A = this chain, B = another copy of it.
Amino acid sequence: MYVSFEQLKERFSGVLLKLGFNKARAELCARIFAENSRDGVYSHGVNRFPVFVQYVKEGFIKIDAEPEKTGQNGVIEYWDGHLAPGMYTATLAMQQAINLSKKNGIGSVSVKNTNHWMRGGTYGWQAAEAGCIGICASNTIGNMPPWGGKEPRLGNNPLVISIPRKQGHIVLDMAVSQFSYGKLQEYELKNEKLPVAGGYDAEGQLTTNAGEIRASKRILPIGFWKGSGLSLVLDILVAALSGGRSVAEITADGKEFGLSQFFLCIHSKDMKAAISDKIIEYTKSSARVNESEQILYPGEKVLATRMKNEKQGIPVNEDIWQEILNL
């Protein structure tokens, strides 16, 4: 079934108001959930909404908490999120990084005790819309073994880099695992093979069988040892800088809350737009592997899905929609 953006947002907002969210905060969180769905990131939009509500009910997300600035070192601010809704705090933090960068060229906000920001790309698009290069990262619960190890000790910590561009912002929104557990589940349910190896089976062999990877818990970092190192470095960047919880402590609790995040903006007023366009044009000029499949820049598919879903409505799983109507 298809639901319009406005319908989705209104329903989300209604549920959040009933949970006790104030109006502005309900509006902001509902908008982000609806936008994530509109942009095709259903896993962190409509499909995730019931889990978000559950976390609020269980008290992991504090609906009245207000993030607090606890320190500053030049163009860096240090915040304590006090477990407020993650999308609310991330939006404020990125806005402050934007403000600082417009004054100082660069601005950054380092946040501890925050919550899941849902889609990292949200804040990349936010920075780009404001004319800034945005870089942000979060840690997660431990879900990926380090290179050389068999047990999950690293998060698939997302890294976002966005570049403003008139004809469509460039937004790289990348978890450091080859596939998320959500993606593995999708393939398992459809009984389809992964397009490339996504982890190891019980015998320690690389496999495209999503079910076997989910069973072994040995999902693959991008680039094997490289993504493993990148994940560790991102955890240190977000946790040791903010003084917040690392993957180790989040994992010990067994619930993905109290995360650490990092936001940085570079005011791009000196950026040469013609150079960005040239880079995209040159990249697309390569002969294709399959003539029918375009070479895309990061963010291009999101933009295409956005335009399609704005026309046709947002595809929603009926069971999940019913679950949301019952909340």
Contact = CB atoms under 8 A, between A and B. Distances in A.
A149 to B, nearest CB: 3
Contact of A75 (B106, B288, B296): B106
A267 B276 CA distance: 30
A73 B233 contact: no
A177 to B, nearest CB: 9
Interface string A273-288: 1011011101111111
Contacts of A233: 161, 163, 170, 172, 298
Interface residues of A, number: 82
A294 B170 contact: no
Interface string A208-249: 000000000000001110110110110111011101001110
Interface in A239-268: 239-241, 243, 246-248, 264, 266-268
A68 B56 CA distance: 54
Contacts of A298: 229, 232-233
B266 A76 contact: yes
Contact of A243 (B204, B241, B270): B270
Q: How many copies does the complex hold?
A: 2
Contact of A278 (B71, B248, B272): B248
A201 to B, nearest CB: 13
A48 interface: no
Contact of A241 (B150, B232, B268, B280): B268
A317 interface: no
A295 interface: yes
A320 to B, nearest CB: 27
B295 A148 contact: yes
B267 A73 contact: yes
A105 B75 contact: yes
A246 to B, nearest CB: 5
Contacts of A290: 148
Given A178-B223, A223-B227, A246 B104 contact: no
B295 A230 contact: no
A41 interface: no
A147 interface: yes
B287 A73 contact: no
Contacts of A204: 289
Interface in A72-116: 72-76, 78, 101, 103-106, 108
A174 interface: yes
Nearest to A244: B275
A319 interface: no
A151 interface: yes
Interface string A145-168: 111111111100000010100000
Contact of A246 (B178, B196, B275): B275
17 contacts: A73-B270, A106-B106, A148-B288, A148-B295, A148-B296, A149-B287, A151-B287, A153-B283, A170-B233, A172-B230, A172-B233, A174-B229, A204-B289, A222-B224, A235-B279, A236-B275, A240-B276
